[in-house]
Structure 1
């Protein structure tokens, strides 16, 4: 009996040992799944561990031999990852994670942990240039899922990343953080180029070395969210990227509301990047079966400096995002600086004739045309009451549209439909439509408040503003959509969960814009927002262009447009010639030509030679605008580092281009003392350079009968002879037959 018991014990131990051994071997030999997300040049490679953790294995240049991605882990000798999720593709809070999470939740039963593991993945081809990879993650305990989406645009080296969160728990789940993207970069150092500003001071750049800890870029303004800081940034690896050298990631969140971007250099010296909607005052209560979709984080990675990353974004935007991105645009004359609020039909009729005289396509009627009980004679009243002011326009907008047609020009109009003045009939009739805290003193931004677009009735009202104008005036050819206020005292009379307001406001805005584009898909619309308050690609999928800044001083605009141009193509930048600044009409017009040209001047007050110059410049612009809008942009000399700013636009065939050069320094003898090296040309081709946009009565110092090879122009360069007295020089390049 003892022998039998001993044998049983020995066999039992043997069985247990053998079972453990089999489990260990099976676990060790379990196949690690690699999920490559690739573009033409780059690869983001996700790795699924035997324990089903999904981590980022690699983000960098695509390898020719994909099997070599398996060697990457062994190439690093860094401090241990104690949690095994430091490089997580979507880091969750409350379980093993020790770093900043991408997602944090409270389950229906009160549990605050989340442990997301691999469930499945697939890649689907969208078209011949783009694919969509989805990775499904599931909590190891709860019926809670996150699906990560990666949409690639191969030729443009662009990736859009977002996620969908859902659950089937018995009750609602509280989402307290919900990023769109979670990336990891490995390098010796990380340099952040970010932007700050205010009204008329948009896109002020700062570049700093990221140190350990978290750097957060964010907005809590609700609307006009990019006023103080846009969701646009660059991260250079190892050293600050230059225009043509270095590895740099451009990032942008496609969301027209509060955003949050966390950049964390962790204890392993890696950079963790999280981007998404700001969770500030925005806890979201997710019902069982409901899906929560985050906005897309957009990025491109360049190994040839900032210029290449910029051109990637430009091509992508024109091909995939902007309304009519490959099409044309209207050149306009705006009445704002000519009349401000003080106009009538007679004044506007005269301006319509000036539009034709100037040679542009469209007349834009700006603010002040509406409201009767509280007339819109300044910015204190009338906003929200969108009927024509009978004193100023007794025959209505339709009369002006007909007058424009009679003058062989088109007609456009300004609106600000998301806003309301306290001194308005709308405020009196529908106080429950307005975002404001009950019982608290109202606080105004630009003398106005924000309408509650989370409310479907308000959505219908805002849609009706646009629809009413276009229904009555089918030939109305342009809408300038403004948005000048931020959200104070955030409260919705419509919503039960007040923490949903910042999110539902933006969702409501998109619903309105989708309805407008569904009914009026081709009407050009400018995204204004008092300047660069709304510069994101989610809004720009509904608009043909954006307004970079109310600051139209041409010297300031060179700097503002320079920085915006990294992220947005010239066809999307609305630039107007105004009376701001002390520069000549030539300088002002030349600067505005680097985008979608417009005028906001009193044509009747121009000197004869100034008018002649503007008329000639419009004709010249018409001959080169296709190159500016659809060509490749090359920044040649930076205004922050040189006394001359120089920018080249070159068509895709490398046959035609436009070179803009501006004196940006007032110092003695400042100018183009050295030749400026061009970029992007075909070395073997020959080019003829001719100065255009000459002011009447002046002659050019540029010899137009000479030709130069592309090799010469890129190696030695060309001197546009910029100096005092020649502070704006525009050169037209054409391929020459030798």
Structure 2
């Protein structure tokens, strides 16, 4: 026998022997698998995350193929699935603890696994790890969604030591990925400039995205991201991990490359100023981290998250949505019964479902006639509304219109009765100067009395307007001088604030489960899947200039379905009413315009556009999304939605060129259609007095439209074009 053959046989026997000693755990979805195993020291390690292979018996061989072998000069000694600090791993940990005796070292060894098939689509795998020295354990939970190719991961920490322990860091998850190169796509923001995109190669060291703001947690950085493996990905090519942390407070996302071929993503609550004291037998549960893997580019990763969100996470994700007319940009704070009654009539005339009364309807001792007073005093203003919000609600109902209202119950103006009566309900440092954002402070939601007050505000609103059909929930201030007058352990403040908020929202949803609620935070500063468990939709930005909104809405589409994104037609921007409307239809349509100032043709167009939207909105809200041409590198941005039956698609096209281009010169290739079906293409939302160049009598196969494409005839005079693609019956 040749020596090389003998060596190979010994290698196989070694692999087999190692495999027998190992335990293997498969977190599987329809197309993907996260493979975990125990090593020779009984540590839980990550072997593989990617596309499933057909023969499951081959999975045990994966760990032996890893090029990494620990040596004497390594900063770490294994690819642990959840990294603890103080022992042999010297890179960024997921878990850092000070034990009851002061020791800061933790070792996690496999103890047991439990698997529960929750239903035909969901399986929960719980792997418990214990410290051999301390009576300490952590349960790693992996909830897999088979058809959506999505995994939610979180940790539950429990101990029975002789005294309290301190959690210094307590991530929800850490993923170790392999690849030759890694590219991070993330979004950063400021007020009116939300979700600005950047993509960069992750070189050596640490890249951290985080929030220390307390509220409005996504104001600077988004808690959602994408990572491309081995090279930059495109919409339809390349390996992509898309992830999002389900937490409405301070977050931390660490991306650490090491040993040239590895990336570790650690996601969880930001441990900034948040050492958490855990009593014996007390259980600490981290927020969930949701993620997906796509072998077919960013678009598939987006669709995976969208499908998961609509079915499992977004409030009423499978349901309908209401179009609305908001009074804010029409009246601001200056209104009375007569003006509002006229707006109710305008709502009916326009043809939308809901009239939304925005800020300024409350406050008497300190009337809410501007942003500096009245916030916190939720009694209707008797000068503006002689019959109260009940009167406006009845007026709307009598006209066949639903009624909605704006609330900002987490906040208070220093110029308010609430501030005077309950100074102990306000977040602020004692004996330090108060600092205001938008003339307001944040109420202390760690305080049960404050939680009761906020629930009472909502409950009392429903008592006055039993048929209340919509709530816009705002949150405009960050938390400065973080301190609770009543919380015993200030290290728990940031966590207890979010727990208090969630407690209030749970109570509201228990009593009022069906009422649509918009999540707003000075624009799009609180957009995460934990909050969207309670809210049907969110407000992406106070910037409603439609040109800017194309970019903002485009970036949100990487993580959130169109059903959840509120887009309003407003007076902001100099574009035409048609362009503004076509952009707003790329999600959930609404209006914030002076209906009485619209020209005859603008009003006629808007009324027809709403009827058109009502015919195809289900495809936009519940269909599969395909980004066809991005607005950054193309003269025309194009995005489409295809329904599940593939017999209808809606394609939005927007002219983006600012120089040296006057038209879309070549066809745009469609995606997501059935190649065997023939389709007819019709332009909708045509402005009165204009004629479409699209010949709706012709038909094309899906194969033709996806491989050759179709030119929507967008140019500097036809700046937006909405196409309906319908199967020929």
TM range (shorter): over 0.9
**Residue 243 (structure 1) aligned with residue 229 (structure 2):** no
For the 8 Å contact 2:250–2:494, the answer to whether it is kept is: yes
- Within a 5 Å distance, the mapping from 1:168-567 to structure 2 comes to 168-267=160-259, 269-567=261-559
Match of 1:700 in 2: 692
Q: Distance in 2 between matches of 1:381 and 1:65?
A: 67
**Aligned match of 1:9:** none
Equivalent residue, structure 2, for 1:8: none
Identify the match of residue 73 of structure 1 among 53, 58, 63.
63
Superposition CA RMSD, Å: 1.4
Q: Summarize deviations over 1:197-216 as a string: whole Å, max 9, x none.
A: 10110000111100111111
Is contact 1:224-1:529 (8 Å) kept? yes
The structure with more radius of gyration: 1
- Partners of 2:69 and 2:381 lie apart in 1 by 70
* Stretch of structure 1 that moved more, 661-670 or 316-325: 661-670
- Cross-structure match for 1:710: 702
Aligned match of 2:580 in 561, 580, 588? 588
3-state SS in 2 of match to 1:307 = helix
Q: Secondary structure at the match of 1:72?
A: helix
Q: Answer whether contact 2:97 2:106 (CA < 8 A) is retained.
A: yes
Question: Which of 647, 650, 662 does residue 658 from structure 1 map onto?
Answer: 650
Question: Runs of 5+ in structure 1 lacking a partner?
Answer: 1-23
Question: SS of 1:132's equivalent?
Answer: strand
Q: CA deviation at 1:593?
A: 0.6
Say whether the 8 Å CA contact 1:575–1:593 is kept in structure 2: yes
Q: Secondary structure at the match of 1:223?
A: coil
Count of residues paired in the alignment: 713
Residue by residue over 1:270-296, the C-alpha shift from the partner in whole angstroms, topping out at 9 and shown as x without a partner, is 001100000000010001111000000
Listed as ranges, the matches of 1:573-584 within 5 Å are: 573-584=565-576
Structure 1 residue 64, shift from structure 2 partner: 1.2
The question of whether the paired residues in 2 share the 8 Å contact of 1:632 and 1:650 is answered with: yes
Displacement after TM superposition at 1:85 (Å): 4.7
Q: Provide the residue aligned with 1:33 in structure 2.
A: 23
Deviation at 1:28, TM superposition (A): 7.0
Structure 1 window deviating more from structure 2 (267-276 vs 506-515): it is: 267-276
Report if the CA contact (8 A) 1:86-1:98 is conserved: no
Equivalent residue, structure 2, for 1:134: 126
8 Å CA contact 1:53–1:85 kept in 2: the answer is no
Instruction: Spell out, residue by residue over 1:474-502, the C-alpha distance to the aligned partner (whole angstroms, 9 max, x if none).
Output: 10100000001100000001111101110
SS of equivalent residue, structure 1 residue 499 = helix
* 5+ long unaligned stretches in structure 2: 1-13
TM-score (norm 2): 0.96
Local SS of the residue matching 1:354: helix
Q: State whether residues 371 and 382 of structure 1, in contact with CA within 8 Å, keep that contact through their aligned partners in structure 2.
A: yes
Summarize the alignment of residues 588-627 of structure 1 with structure 2, pairs less than 5 Å apart. 588-627=580-619
Alignment deviations for residues 68-96 of structure 1 (CA, whole Å, 9 cap, x no partner): 11211232323536577531111111112
Report if aligned partners of 1:636, 1:647 keep a CA contact under 8 Å in 2.
Answer: yes
1:372 to partner: Cα distance: 0.6
Map 1:622-641 to 2 at 5 A.
622-641=614-633
Kindly state the Cα deviation for residue 673 of structure 1 after the two structures are TM-superposed: 0.5
SS in 1 for 2:319: coil
Q: Is the 8 A contact 1:30 1:50 kept in 2?
A: no
1:267: how far off? 2.3
The answer to whether the 8 Å contact 1:79/1:268 transfers is no
Tell me which residue corresponds to 2:38. 48
CA contact (8 A) 1:236 1:246 kept: yes
SS at match of 2:639: strand
Alpha-carbon distance in 2 for matches of 1:599, 1:732: 22
Aligned partners of 2:214 and 2:479 also within 8 Å? yes
- Deviation for aligned residue 1:472: 2.4
Tell me what 1:19 maps to.
Answer: none
Q: Distance in 2 between matches of 1:323 and 1:66?
A: 37
Is 2:672 aligned against 1:680?
yes
**What secondary structure does 2:653 align onto?**
strand
TM-score w.r.t. structure 1 length? 0.95
